[in-house]
Structure 1
Amino acid sequence: MTTSQTVKWRWENAVAGSIAGLSTVTFSHPLDVVRTRFQVYDGRNPNLPCYRNTPHALFTIARSEGLRGLYAGFNPAVLGSTLSWGLYFYFYNNAKQRYMGNQDKTSARIHLVSAAEAGALVCLSTNPVWVVKTRLQLQTPHHQGRPYSGFNDALRTILRDEGWRALYKGLLPGLLLVTHGAIQFTAYEELRKIIIDFRQKQSSCFDKSSELLTTVDYATLGASSKLAAILATYPFQVIRSRLQQRPNTYGVARYAGSGHALQKTARLEGIKGFYGGFTANLLKTLPAASITFIAYENVLNLLKRTKTRD
């Protein structure tokens, strides 16, 4: 494969990743709203209602806030997810090709390093979008002060009242969450390779077409790799969401930084505090991960077939 062909494939990875991200966020956004509210709820914020569980939260939000409440922060979520997945797949495949060099085969180490590099670059690029999304999702009818009217208003207001640094709140736990993508992609790639190798050995007349996995395979691989990543990294997500909350009416943040959020959560809520919204997160992310990889793999295969015909 020539250098120009490699670059084209990387752009196709980005397009496939963007479409996958858009599919994911459209399907799962109400659960994302519930997850975010559970993550930041500590029983001491009067702006946040108390929900008994995920179904109760969905029902309460739908009844009191309507469809708009269930899709609060949808625009930045679409932008952030589409941009993140597109950049992630692009940076990931770019890094993988670079680390492989002239090798024909990849390894777990290459997958891990490539995923970590891609995650860090995506985090630096998209953190402001996630701050705005979190702020919009946490607005409720009980909100004190002037609410944000939308993405642009929130962005302008944050810059005016808090400065550009506020758009990078939660960056440290966000960077630590790079391990999430690294674990997910490494697990996905390694499990994928195991299945393909197994089917090669089982096939008496193996040909290249039998390498192609089915939609069920992509769904299973996506969900399994996501579960492994969630179990290992979920507390980082909780800390990030808590840091990204809007300051009170006096402009004072609820947490001074990652260390303070970690210490305060552990002291006042225990281990349970680090897993707020975990059920909603599983309901959101496992099917979403399956959809993401189904969309990604199928769009990528379609683009490659189209390119081959051309």
Structure 2
Amino acid sequence: MSALKSVDWQWENATAGAVAGCATVSFSHPLDVVRTRFQVNDGRVSNFPTYKNTPHALFTIARSEGLRGLYAGFYPAVLGSTVSWGLYFFFYSKAKQRYSKNREELSPGLHLASAAEAGALVCFCTNPVWLIKTRLQLQTPLHQTRPYSGLYDALRTILKEEGWTALYKGIVPGLFLVTHGAIQFTAYEELRKVVVDFKSKKSEQNLSGAELLSSVDYATLGASSKLAAILLTYPFQVIRARLQQRPSKDGIPRYMDSWHVVKETARFEGLRGFYKGITANLLKNAPAASITFIVYENVLNMLKMARRND
């Protein structure tokens, strides 16, 4: 019976995570397009428009490309986010359960290990989807190569022209970005614990953590943990986006590997180059993280209540 309950709990986490991820993407995708275009624009490539700032980028894309431009790469983004969050919460909860054997409470180090383990597994599963999303977002009116017509066409064309290994471009910085999720979830767990302890001391009733916390608490915790993760790991996002660009007509990639990106960016753009697009990223991810954790925690609580009533 306990094993069955454990499986139910893991799938509840996966379902809640998938719903949260889908809601997040739908809300914030235009900012994701802007962020990606800022990230790859090193000032030396002619097929990318130049934007002054995030509002100017949104206005320019809307005017020249319409809603289609603002939601370029939306389908792989929804697929990738839904699968990623679902797998992430599933793998994360399984890792926490494994580490919590014979322990009353997980330490910050074990929360970090659980999040890192989940992030690495998700990275290998979803890198092809994120590569296709990036390429679709970078298709602009200035592009010279035949544009991909959609998710399936992009996948077919990449396999035909570059081979299956191209689907894993950016995997190295992607694995380094595992620290993003690890930092975010560790910060979230630790901050959540502090808030629950604080509220339980003030409350005269013997309530669980889920009953003590409100949607405002989840929003604040989600945004705070995301901010810490973004500031520490953002350069890896820039490196990955630049590696995942479509090669030129002659098949030569703009950057050869992660180290080439680091050297070229440092040489021509300095430290600022590694933080291009961070404003759009913060505008996208701080509220998005709030929405994600509000949806996740509430869906999870709803599923638990439904199971108790069965």
TM-score range, shorter chain: over 0.9
- Quote the residue 1:143 is aligned against: 143
Q: Deviations over 1:188-208 (max 9, x none)?
A: 000000111111222344334
**Is structure 2 residue 98 aligned with structure 1 residue 85?**
no
Query: Is the contact made by 2:196 and 2:209 (CA closer than 8 Å) also made in structure 1?
Result: no
1:116 maps to which residue?
116
**Matches of 1:207 and 1:289 in 2, distance apart?**
25
Tell me the residue number matched to 2:309: 309
Partner Cα separation in structure 1 for residue 302 and residue 203 of structure 2: 25
**What is the CA deviation profile of residues 250-304 of structure 1, one whole-angstrom value per residue up to 9, with x for unaligned ones?**
1000101000001100000001100000100000000000000000000000000
Q: Which residue of 1 aligns with 2:271?
A: 271
The equivalent of 2:193 in structure 1 is 193
Structure 1 partner of 2:53? 53
TM-score (norm 1): 0.98
1:197-208 equivalence runs, <5 A:
197-208=197-208
CA–CA distance in structure 2, aligned partners of residues 210 and 17 of structure 1:
16
Retained in 1: the 8 A contact 2:30–2:58?
A: yes
Identical counterparts, % of pairs: 71
- Cα contact 2:29–2:71 (8 A) shared by 1: yes
Q: What are the superposed Cα offsets for residues 111-155 of structure 1, whole Å, 9 maximum, x if unpaired?
A: 100000000000000000000000000000111121100000000
1:260 maps to which residue? 260
* CA-based RMSD: 1.1
CA pair 3-102 structure 1, distance change in 2 beyond 3 A: farther
Mind listing any 5+ residue stretches in structure 2 that lack a counterpart? none
In the TM superposition, residue 211 of structure 1 has moved relative to its aligned partner by: 4.5
Query: Quick one: distance in 2 between partners of 1:210 and 1:246?
Result: 45
Instruction: Please report the TM-score for the alignment, with normalisation by the length of structure 2.
Output: 0.98
Question: How does 1:109-258 map onto structure 2 within 5 Å?
Answer: 109-208=109-208, 211-258=211-258
What is the aligned length? 310
C-alpha separation in 2, matches of 1:244 and 1:209: 42
SS in 2 for 1:104: coil
2:280 is equivalent to residue 283 of structure 1:
no
User: Aligned partners of 1:208, 1:11: CA distance in 2, in Å?
Assistant: 21
1: distance between equivalents of 2:293 and 2:183? 15
Contact 1:243 1:255 survives alignment (8 Å): yes
- Contact 1:196 1:211 (C-alpha < 8 Å) held by counterparts: no
Q: Which residue of 1 aligns with 2:14?
A: 14
For structure 1, which runs of at least 5 residues remain unmatched after alignment? Answer: none
Quick one: distance in 1 between partners of 2:132 and 2:181?
A: 22
Q: How many angstroms does 1:209 deviate by?
A: 7.2
8 Å contact 1:96–1:110 — kept in the other structure? yes
